[in-house]
Structure 1
Amino acid sequence: MRSTDAYARHASSGHRRSRGAALAIALVAAVSLALPGRASFAKESEPRYSFAVIGGTLQSPADEAQTQRLLEAIGRESDISFIVYDGNLKSGKEACRDSLFATRQALLEMSKPALVFIPGQHDWADCGTEEAGGYDPVERLDLLRQTLFADTSSMGQNPIPLVRESEVSRFRTYRENVRWQVGDTVFVGLNVPGPNNHFLYAGGRNGEFEDRVIANAFWLDHAAEYAKRHNARAIVVLLQGDFDPERYERPERFAWLRFGRKAKRDGFLEFKRSLVKLAETFHGPVVVIHQDNDRMHAGFMIDQPLRNDKGDLVTNLTRIAFAPRNPQNQWIQIDADLAKRPPFRVSVQNVPKSLPLPVAPTLPSHNEYTAPPMPPSMPAVPGSAPASELPPILPEPPRAPSPDSSNDNDAGSTSNGTTYRYVPPDATTGAYAPASGTAQPSGVYPGIGPGTNPASSVQRRP
């Protein structure tokens, strides 16, 4: 994680909280967020709430008892509304077995507060490595969708309802992308893993990455419109990957002459553009929370590093990167009071030393679990519209029709008569356009790919 002091917007102070005989030191920082000048922000009757963020606490079976104690300590705090486990139920060296995921899921279900799980790098994107068992990452992601993301509510003993992107027929497979609301704040969970958003450099179509980029962009756009319609005052976006918001790629002249010096593709480029568009559409505070790659002395960092296509800072978007020094014994707590300025306060809380490790819970064996059978697919009903419980806030992006293989010039047309043409990969870089970009007419959502104008860009400096 690279930090620029000019962009940092935080001040820290220490305070003590009594936990019986133990004292925990909290590092508190005020999130400097730009608030719209509306009188409704000053209402004293606005509810206050707090939530906890943890992640990467399970690196081996030995960490299961400590993680259970961490969840128990958070559950003893009466002001915690919910917990977010922000990715990595396992380490990169553990095999991505069905039984391991079942064990870790059962552990998270023991949480007293509601718990929302966000998928991370080691949960599926790294499962193709030899250490992780050599699985197909996409197949492992499908397993998580059938198990950890099967319900319409969160995990935990007191679950809260969630709205999943899979309720939109166009994105039926993306059950891991969720939305929920607490008070006047809309929360969005996205599948954006490190280290480079699962962008693959091998030849061929980067299908999983390209399709997920479009799904994530749609879900952020939908959240912005939902927040505006319901008069929400803040949006919080949670993901696991460090999306490197300080990185700005400047197009180089004559770059095609530099053979053998191909720059690494930024797999988070489209996501950063979507965040800029979100902040421009929704004028209230936008907070983005993610894990950091390095441990921090304070446990977290707060800054405003994102710029728009004009090179200006996006002042209503704040990033919180967290990396506690002892993740099995610390959690990030965020206290929200939208009647105050700033409305969010961030602190690191410690598990009381007097809290003993729990007795080993009765969890599924790592070697005895078998995946549940797949539910039967719903038969198509002639003449019926696609099922969706979401309000018609945004139109769904059109499906890309398959080109006619009998046509020698690779041209075709959509149902409304719009002509499209297959675009081969770039002869110099070998890069492909986004999955649906070649079949969309100019100006059609989501603003990604050839023939469309992105809502904003973080690639250029003034």
Structure 2
Amino acid sequence: MIGDVPYGAAQIAAFPTWVDEINAAKPAVTFHVGDIKNGSTRCDDPYYAMIKTQFNRFTSPFIYTPGDNEWTDCHRANNGSYNPLERLAYDRSVFFSNPGTTLGAPMKVASQANAGFPENVNLRKQGIDFAVIHVVGSNDDLQPWTGIGQTTATPQQAAEEKARMANAIPVVHNAFADARRKNDRAVMVLLQADMFDPSYTPTWNDISAFKPLVQALIDESATFDGPVYLVNGDSHVYNTDKPLATGSSWLTTYGVSGSADNLQRITVDGSSNNKDWLKFTVNRPGAAEPLSWERVPYQHQAG
């Protein structure tokens, strides 16, 4: 797992070596949980092509879900004052031109391309069911596009976000349904947005868009006999917690019903903390936990 990388010139220069280091570990699958650039650099076409070239250098199947920096936040003047929906369409045209197939080493995945969301995918590996969904920071793109003169979300913004979230939640349902049907050991949901960022107290305008997904995660996890892992980027600091466990303040913050004591959230390092990648291991049947993980330092550090 990697995310929020590469950020800035030094990490861009180091990224090919980081790809080599991950390849040397021979992972079964590599995931990127969004943000292929920092939030204060331009969203110009050549950058996306350069990143795709690096993504295709992975020798394992490579699965990427978009982050806010590569489309939602491109309205900013220092990003080029782009229309974010145009950048979203461009991101899809670059990274999801062959829907249903991964970047890197080709592997088939169940894609939502027919619904217009090729980035939303399900897959199953070694008794673990995965839902990779396109849910981003900036309140899932309901924050105003200030760089192009907006002070509230446009009707087009609101419609796009509603449709994208309405597609993402069934992808989560699919993963749980597959896990129950096949008696699988665990479910993992991957997305960019940190819906439970512990570093600040959010306003409702920061997180309101996530409520339907949070409720869906509670409903599914509470009726699943096994651990659930939620992996995200966005806040850049490695963290693991149980934000939806009984008694969590997040339940009140979101105004949701129920709880999910079996859901564990993991945030990957990113931004200036891009000094490592996160290695997940599927443990043998009978182990105390289906998955374990460790932070693997890059041998070559940026800068």
The 8 Å contact of residues 70 and 329 in structure 1, kept in 2 or not, is answered as no
Match of 1:331 in 2: 277
TM-score by length of 2: 0.83
Amino acid paired to 1:282: F
The 8 Å contact of residues 3 and 268 in structure 2, kept in 1 or not, is answered as no
Asked if 1:195 is matched to 2:143, the reply is no
Q: 1:228 aligned to 161, 169, 180, which one?
A: 180
Q: What is the CA distance between 1:338 and its match in structure 2?
A: 4.8
Query: In the aligned structure 1, how far is the partner of 2:102 from the partner of 2:38?
Result: 23
Q: 1:127 aligned to 59, 74, 87, which one?
A: 74
Match of 1:150 in 2: 97
The 8 Å contact of residues 118 and 189 in structure 1, kept in 2 or not, is answered as yes
Query: In the aligned structure 2, how far is the partner of 1:97 from the partner of 1:241?
Result: 23
Q: 1:318 aligned to 237, 240, 264, which one?
A: 264
Amino acid paired to 1:323: D
Q: What is the CA distance between 1:82 and its match in structure 2?
A: 1.5
Asked if 1:70 is matched to 2:18, the reply is yes
Q: 1:118 aligned to 65, 72, 97, which one?
A: 65
Q: What is the CA distance between 1:144 and its match in structure 2?
A: 1.7
Change (3 A) 1:175 1:331: same
The 8 Å contact of residues 11 and 302 in structure 2, kept in 1 or not, is answered as no
Q: What is the CA distance between 1:293 and its match in structure 2?
A: 1.7
Q: What is the CA distance between 1:276 and its match in structure 2?
A: 1.1
Report sequence identity in percent: 22
* CA offset digits 1:157-187 (Å, max 9, x no partner): x2321111124xxxx2111111111110111
Query: In the aligned structure 2, how far is the partner of 1:179 from the partner of 1:343?
Result: 19
Match of 1:273 in 2: 215
Query: In the aligned structure 2, how far is the partner of 1:59 from the partner of 1:246?
Result: 22
Amino acid paired to 1:198: D
Match of 1:418 in 2: none
Query: In the aligned structure 1, how far is the partner of 2:257 from the partner of 2:302?
Result: 51
Amino acid paired to 1:117: Y
The 8 Å contact of residues 35 and 70 in structure 2, kept in 1 or not, is answered as yes
The 8 Å contact of residues 55 and 327 in structure 1, kept in 2 or not, is answered as no
TM-score by length of 1: 0.56
Match of 1:453 in 2: none
Asked if 1:86 is matched to 2:18, the reply is no
Amino acid paired to 2:127: D
Q: What is the CA distance between 1:289 and its match in structure 2?
A: 0.4
* CA offset digits 1:321-380 (Å, max 9, x no partner): 222686544111111215200222121111235x999xxxxxxxxxxxxxxxxxxxxxxx
Match of 1:413 in 2: none
The 8 Å contact of residues 222 and 261 in structure 2, kept in 1 or not, is answered as no
Q: What is the CA distance between 1:310 and its match in structure 2?
A: 8.1
The 8 Å contact of residues 304 and 313 in structure 1, kept in 2 or not, is answered as no
Match of 1:176 in 2: 119
The 8 Å contact of residues 235 and 285 in structure 1, kept in 2 or not, is answered as yes
Higher relative contact order (CA 8 A, sep 6+): 1
Q: Secondary structure at the match of 1:56?
A: coil
Q: Secondary structure at the match of 1:87?
A: coil
Change (3 A) 1:127 1:292: closer
The 8 Å contact of residues 31 and 64 in structure 2, kept in 1 or not, is answered as yes
Q: 2:171 aligned to 214, 219, 241, which one?
A: 219
* CA offset digits 1:366-413 (Å, max 9, x no partner): xxxxxxxxxxxxxxxxxxxxxxxxxxxxxxxxxxxxxxxxxxxxxxxx
Query: In the aligned structure 2, how far is the partner of 1:107 from the partner of 1:336?
Result: 26
Amino acid paired to 1:103: M
Q: Secondary structure at the match of 1:147?
A: helix
Q: 2:227 aligned to 262, 285, 295, which one?
A: 285
Q: Secondary structure at the match of 2:29?
A: strand
Query: In the aligned structure 2, how far is the partner of 1:310 from the partner of 1:219?
Result: 20
Q: Secondary structure at the match of 2:28?
A: strand
Match of 1:186 in 2: 129
The 8 Å contact of residues 282 and 291 in structure 2, kept in 1 or not, is answered as yes
The 8 Å contact of residues 72 and 138 in structure 2, kept in 1 or not, is answered as no
Query: In the aligned structure 1, how far is the partner of 2:190 from the partner of 2:61?
Result: 16
Query: In the aligned structure 2, how far is the partner of 1:276 from the partner of 1:245?
Result: 18
Q: Secondary structure at the match of 1:75?
A: helix
Amino acid paired to 1:59: Y
Change (3 A) 1:68 1:263: closer
Query: In the aligned structure 1, how far is the partner of 2:92 from the partner of 2:140?
Result: 18
Question: Larger Rg: 1 or 2?
Answer: 1
Change (3 A) 1:60 1:282: same
Q: Secondary structure at the match of 2:280?
A: strand
Amino acid paired to 2:235: N
Change (3 A) 1:96 1:110: same
Q: What is the CA distance between 1:195 and its match in structure 2?
A: 3.0
Superposition RMSD in Å: 2.8
Amino acid paired to 1:70: W
Q: Secondary structure at the match of 1:54?
A: coil
The 8 Å contact of residues 66 and 329 in structure 1, kept in 2 or not, is answered as no
Amino acid paired to 2:36: L
Count residues with an aligned counterpart.
281
Query: In the aligned structure 2, how far is the partner of 1:208 from the partner of 1:276?
Result: 24
Change (3 A) 1:245 1:134: closer
Match of 2:8 in 1: 60
